Every structure is written in C-alpha cells, then in structure tokens.
Amino acid sequence: MLTVLKIGGSIITDKSRPYSIRKNVIKRIAREVKPYIETGNKLVIIHGGGSYGHYIVNLHKKLGKEEDAEYYSKVTIAMNELSIRVAELFRIEHLPVTVIASHTLFELDDNGNIIAHDLSIIQRHLDKGIIPMLYGDLVLGERGFPVLSGDDIGWYLACKLNANRLLFATSVDGIYAGPIGQSPIIDVIDFRENGTINAFFNNTPGLPVHGYDVTGGIWNKIRSARKYGCKNLDVLIFNGLVEDNIRKALLGERIVGTRVLL
C-alpha cells in the first residue's frame, strides 16, 4: 500500500508567529505514522509552508519582489529548514525519512502546469524503505519564481506514483458545505459524475483562508484533482489536529472528513 500524506502548514507551524513550529504536534504525528509503516506500507510525506513559506512569500508580495533571485534563495532555504526540522522530529521517532527539496524536482510553466524532473528518485527511495519528505516550495517558472503548493505536489505524486491513498491532514474537519462552523462537512465529493465539479465550485465558499495563505487553501487546490487524470485514488480531507486521526486515516479506519472520489 502506498499513501501520499499532505500535512498542512497550519498544523505543523503556528501561523500567527513567523518561523514557529509546533514540536509536540509534529512528534505526535510521527508516532501516529508508525503503525502504518511498521506493517510494511510505503509513505510519501508532503508538508505545507505555514509560518515559514507563506509568511515570507506574503511579505515579498507586498514589496513587489517576487522575481528577485534573493527572494527565491530566501524562501527555498527557509522551506528546506522547516522540512529538516520536521524530518528530524520524525527521525527521533525512528521513522526513516529523508528530505527531497521540491524545487530540485519540479518547475512550473506559465499556465501553472507542473514540469517534473526524474521522479524515479522518489520511487527508488520508497523501494529501499525510505519515507521521502517533500514540501510546498518556490520553484523555477518560465518567468520568476512561482509557488508550487504542497497540495499540488500531493495530487501530482499520488497520480504519477499510482498511490492507493491521498490524505490531506488539515486544521479543519473537512470541506464545509457553507459557512465554516455553521454548515455540515461534505461527506463525499464525486468527480466521477460529469459536470459536478463546475456546479460544485460555483456554489461553495470554501475553507477558511488564513491570514497569509498565498496558495489559497485546499478548496481552490482541489481543482487539481482532475488535472492529472488519476483514477482509483482514495482521497480524504480531514482534521490532523484531532488526536489519532492521522493514524486512523492511514490505516483506513473511519473518521470525520470529506472523501473525494476519482
């Protein structure tokens, strides 16, 4: 079984404080991942930018410096640092993770399409029992340095690596049918029904957008579901801050969340 797990930046960092990580949450997540790995399953982890990437990107947007080489340097180093910190906490829990910098593997064209370099490096790590850890990052674009979100990487890798499951651990219970907190969680989004996706996006307001979430939250990014044309992928968007949810989701146990059927 191969699972791609995207861990939201708002789970592993404190978005109200620049460059802050939530150590205890990350350690807890590592412990929740263990039972899945110990039963011989494969895992790719991707995490978001949180109070590292989103913070810096937002700051530079205001200054109009999005095409500056130093900006690219600053964000890619900061994201790498965040990832190393997360990976180290996993390693302490004896999970064999390694960080693969997303900007070395992906670029984006002018239409926002992913150009991937040799993905077999990920497969070869998986074959040797390693857990590759990637993250939302700045990448080389045709012009400038666009943001490639971890969600997009998640969809892309899950489709290209033929993963069985794609899990989005977010800081909310799933996708709400209307205003957050006042409306129910959507149980299932079925993209297999023709036309559903358009009606769906015309009528729904979406997940909460955090102060400086430059990639717009999972609601926008879920459009990517169709882009990479993957089929038979079991997708679940759920609350990774609820204790034990990640363990259960990895083991296929039932939890509150939104399932996406492809």
Non-local CB neighbours of 148 within 8 Å, separated by 6+ positions? 102, 103, 106, 108, 114, 136, 137, 138, 139
Which CB sits closer to ligand IP8, 53 or 174? Answer: 53
Angle (deg, nearest 10), helices 69-92 and 23-38: 60
Point out which span in 81-89, 115-123, 134-142, 196-204 binds ligand IP8 (CB under 6 A): 134-142
What is the rounded CA–CA span in Å between residue 137 and residue 6?
A: 13
Which CB sits closer to ligand IP8, 45 or 75? Answer: 75
| Two structure tokens written together for 260 | 């996406």
Q: Is 51 in the site for ligand IP8 (CB under 6 A)?
A: no
The CB-nearest residue to ligand IP8 is 136
CA dist 249 → 5, 48, 51, 221 (Å) = 10, 19, 25, 21
Using alpha carbons, select from 150, 83, 78, 79 the residue that is nearest to residue 114: 150
Q: Is 42 in the site for ligand IP8 (CB under 6 A)?
A: no
Site residue total, ligand IP8 (CB under 6 A)? 17
Q: Is 149 in the site for ligand IP8 (CB under 6 A)?
A: yes
CB of 149: closest distance to ligand IP8 in angstroms? 3
Q: Is 141 in the site for ligand IP8 (CB under 6 A)?
A: no
Q: Is 215 in the site for ligand IP8 (CB under 6 A)?
A: yes
245: exposed, middle or buried (C-beta count within 10 Å: 0-12, 13-18, 19+)?
buried
Which CB sits closer to ligand IP8, 32 or 151? Answer: 151
- Taken as a whole, the chain contains a residue count of 262
HEC profile of 5-25: EEECHHHHECCCCCCCECHHH
Point out which span in 59-67, 126-134, 147-155, 245-253 binds ligand IP8 (CB under 6 A): 147-155
Which CB sits closer to ligand IP8, 140 or 251? Answer: 140
Rule CB under 6 A: which residues touch ligand IP8?
9, 48-49, 53-54, 57, 75, 79, 136-138, 147, 149-151, 214-215
